[in-house]
Amino acid sequence: QQQVKQSPQSLIVQKGGISIINCAYENTAFDYFPWYQQFPGKGPALLIAIRPDVSEKKEGRFTISFNKSAKQFSLHIMDSQPGDSATYFCAARGTASKLTFGTGTRLQVTL
């Protein structure tokens, strides 16, 4: 059973544009929502994370928006750069600190 749904599957954004990736979850027991960035041949790396008692968190060009009532959260990448081209995974932490990952979004930032 997929507990974290992620969309879109792929995304093409022009340099300088805003990239938006969305995730939805079902389990209200999730208490921590990280986003991971993965480059080809590398393992995922933590990008930014949020707890459900906060509606927004910003770190540089990366912002998480969190809607607890809708059970949705999203990643916004402002001023997207070619170096941001990677696969992005949302995740949610449940019982016993287990992370459940979304299916990933392949982002391509074009010049």
Task: Write the CB contacts of 92 (distance below 8 Å, at least 6 apart in sequence).
Answer: 3, 4, 23, 25, 27, 30, 32, 33, 99, 100
Q: Least distance (Å) from other proteins to the CB of residue 87?
A: 9
Cβ 16 to other proteins, closest distance in Å? 28
Q: Which of 1, 83, 97, 111 binds other proteins (CB under 8 A)?
A: 97
Report which of 19, 79, 91, 86 is spatially closest to residue 50, judged by C-alpha positions. Answer: 91
Sign of CA dihedral 77, 81, 82, 84: negative
Q: With respect to other proteins, which residue has the nearer C-beta, 42 or 68?
A: 42
Binding segment for other proteins (CB under 8 A), chosen from 13-21, 53-61, 71-79, 99-107, is 99-107
Look-up of token digits 């459900």: 52
Q: How is residue 49 written in tokens?
A: 């994370």
Which residues from 29-58 bind other proteins, rule CB under 8 A? 32, 34, 36, 41-46, 49
Task: Put the strands of the sheet holding 72-77 in their side by side order.
Answer: 4-7, 19-25, 72-77, 62-67, 56-59
Per-residue binder mask for other proteins (CB under 8 A), 63-92, x = binder: --------------------------x-x-
Which residues here bind other proteins, judged by CB under 8 A?
4, 6, 32, 34, 36, 41-46, 49, 89, 91, 93, 96-99, 101-104
